[in-house]
Amino acid sequence: MTDIVFNHATVRERADMLTFLRLCSERGLETVSIWGDEIAKVGETDALSVLNDLGMTVSGYNRVGPLAADALDRAEAELERAARFKADHVFLFTGGLRENEKDLSCARRRIEDLVGSVLERARNIGVKLAIEPLHPMLTGDRTVISSLSHANSLCEALGPGIGVVVDVYHCWWDERLAAEIEGAGSAGRLFGFHVNDWLIPTRHLLTDRGMMGDGIIDLRGIHSMMRRAGFEGAVEVEIFSTDWWSREPAEVLDIALDRCRCLFNRE
Amino acid sequence: MTDIVFNHATVRERADMLTFLRLCSERGLETVSIWGDEIAKVGETDALSVLNDLGMTVSGYNRVGPLAADALDRAEAELERAARFKADHVFLFTGGLRENEKDLSCARRRIEDLVGSVLERARNIGVKLAIEPLHPMLTGDRTVISSLSHANSLCEALGPGIGVVVDVYHCWWDERLAAEIEGAGSAGRLFGFHVNDWLIPTRHLLTDRGMMGDGIIDLRGIHSMMRRAGFEGAVEVEIFSTDWWSREPAEVLDIALDRCRCLFNRE
């Protein structure tokens, strides 16, 4: 059986964090991925106590970033909160270009330096950082790291304590995907695997991701690449979608669980 | 002075091909990029005669494809028409996945074989083929070639008579861009350079491209990469945009000319 983890973002519009934790626990799930802003909404004490009462653990903590010049103090607070939730890894959200900035290479060098600074703090606090390259259509606006190759090179340069999360939505189109997953696996840097689907047509750059099976991504094929590269972690469902956000959270979780079991447990 | 070429797509909604040719000629432009379907609308005889009367030449001819199994006969007809218009190069539009197809690697191998077959016909007819890698957000739907690296490798494998067109919209995010432009230049494979801009926010995957200067692409920087790689051709304006399509074609051309002169003639 492949373990399944839900990212709270999948049902965040209609289920607060406490509801989300209970819905996951009722379905026999033991691990979740969570968001700092959603913790703040329900209060950290309540969030931690429900998490512990249900005996659940945290996979990914969202997030550190965007990485502006003043981001380091805020980053430290997020890293410390992630540590209190015993998260397996913390997502780095690089953010995009500055206002009126057009030199992408220069922005990349600046952000890479900032990632290095955040990593030092993360090592001191004892949490791992995860880079999730975002789809090229989000370059400049929300990220400057648009490929797994770039993320892998950066991790290689920075050393221990940082790895990658492969989200099929962001990486599926890349002709280098199999090679880069293999490379990340050999280096022990595959921290997570996120699933959803690419819809045709896609009507919005941020909020029109599909439920697994409704789009054109070869989810089984990419999952096999992950397994061959030595990844033994869970499949994490993360769907940003106004359509799915409008539906009953319990129903969304049940449909996603069915799809995951059908797609990932036959192998 | 950098030569400027307009692609008819930029004003196609309100200017038929004959109007487009006259508008370009009135502005002192001597070269255009054209579309087979727009030729068909006004009739090939009239299109050719206005083109010749105005003393204009054709840069890019759109297009051969999508490359389905039955595409070769249609491809041959397009290549022959492109030859009658003495086009410098003909665009290959690969198309995406078949219905229900999910194996992108397999689709890529199939399309690469078809490109090889089209190339044989193009060589016989005496026209050059151009691959324009499309943005990864169009993968599966409209293309299977999503990076300049992939296009370059394919050209390398297929030999003479095929090259690449670099459209900033599709390639600007790629951390390999400078290296791949340099590689294509060394191999004599840089057939064209298309400009427009990436808007924040982008509201539609196909029809929300920006006017040069309105977005976040480092147009001067990428133009310099092209020049350093030995490209001496024109800057071609190609904007797919419901906003710009709704405006007066003459006004669109004038604004684009101003922007191009400001951006590309200071170097």
Assess whether pLDDT exceeds 60 at residue B265: yes
Do A150 and B175 make contact, defined as CB atoms within 8 angstroms? yes
pLDDT confidence tier of residue A102, bands split at 50, 70 and 90: very high
- Residue of A111, A137, A177 to mutate, interface with B, max B Cβ within 10 Å: A137
A179 CB-near residues (< 8 Å, 6+ apart): none
Question: A180-216: per-residue pLDDT in tens?
Answer: 999 999 999 999 999 999 999 999 999 999 999 999 9
pLDDT confidence tier of residue A40, bands split at 50, 70 and 90: very high
Do B175 and A147 make contact, defined as CB atoms within 8 angstroms? yes
Chain A residues with CB inside 8 Å of B217's CB?
Answer: 102
Assess whether pLDDT exceeds 60 at residue A266: no
Taking residues B231-258, what's their average pLDDT?
Answer: 98
- DSSP code per residue over chain A: ---EEEEGGGGTTT--HHHHHHHHHHTT--EEEEEHHHHHHH-HHHHHHHHHHTT-EEEEEEEE----TTHHHHHHHHHHHHHHTT-SEEEE----PPTT---HHHHHHHHHHHHHHHHHHHHHHT-EEEE-PPPGGGBTTTBS--SHHHHHHHHHHH-TTEEEEEEHHHHTT-TTHHHHHHHHHHTT-EEEEEE-B--SS---SSSBPBPTTSSS--HHHHHHHHHHTT--S-EEE---BHHHHTS-HHHHHHHHHHHHHHHHS--
pLDDT at B1: 62
Assess whether pLDDT exceeds 70 at residue B151: yes
Share of chain A above pLDDT 90, in %: 96
A208 CA: distance to closest CA in chain B (Å): 12
Predicted ipTM of the assembly? 0.96
Question: B112-141: per-residue pLDDT in tens?
Answer: 999 999 999 999 999 999 999 999 999 999
Chain A residues with CB inside 8 Å of B102's CB?
Answer: 216-218, 221
Do A137 and B136 make contact, defined as CB atoms within 8 angstroms? yes
Do B146 and A97 make contact, defined as CB atoms within 8 angstroms? no
Say if A200 is an interface residue toward chain B (CB within 8 Å): yes
pLDDT confidence tier of residue A1, bands split at 50, 70 and 90: low
pLDDT at B266: 52
Taking residues B149-158, what's their average pLDDT?
Answer: 98
Domain boundaries, chain A: 4-262
pLDDT at B267: 47
Identify which of A139, A198, A200 has the shortest CB distance to residue B173.
A139
Q: Which residues pair with A33 in a beta bridge?
A: A7
pLDDT confidence tier of residue A70, bands split at 50, 70 and 90: confident
Chain B residues with CB inside 8 Å of A146's CB?
Answer: 173-175
Say if B150 is an interface residue toward chain A (CB within 8 Å): yes
Q: Does the predicted TM-score (pTM) go above 0.95?
A: yes
pLDDT confidence tier of residue A15, bands split at 50, 70 and 90: very high
B50 CA: distance to closest CA in chain A (Å): 38
Asked which of A24-38, A61-75, A82-96, B155-169 is least confident by mean pLDDT, the reply is A61-75
A106 CB-near residues (< 8 Å, 6+ apart): none
Say if A175 is an interface residue toward chain B (CB within 8 Å): yes
Question: A140-170: per-residue pLDDT in tens?
Answer: 999 999 999 999 999 999 999 999 999 999 9
Measure the CA–CA gap between A83 and A121, rounded to whole angstroms. 12
Share of chain B above pLDDT 70, in %: 99
B143 CB-near residues (< 8 Å, 6+ apart): B93, B94, B95, B96, B133, B134
Q: At the top level of CATH, which class does the domain B4-262 belong to?
A: alpha beta
Average pLDDT, chain A: 97
φ, ψ dihedrals at A160, nearest 5°: -65, 160
Question: B7-29: per-residue pLDDT in tens?
Answer: 999 999 999 999 999 999 999 99
pLDDT at A216: 98
Question: B64-108: per-residue pLDDT in tens?
Answer: 999 987 889 899 999 999 999 999 999 999 999 999 999 999 999
Question: Which residue of B lies nearest to A221 if distances are taken between CA atoms?
Answer: B103
Nearest to B103 by CA among A228, A181, A216: A216
Tell me how crowded residue A170 is: count the other CB atoms within 10 A of its CB: 26
pLDDT at A267: 47
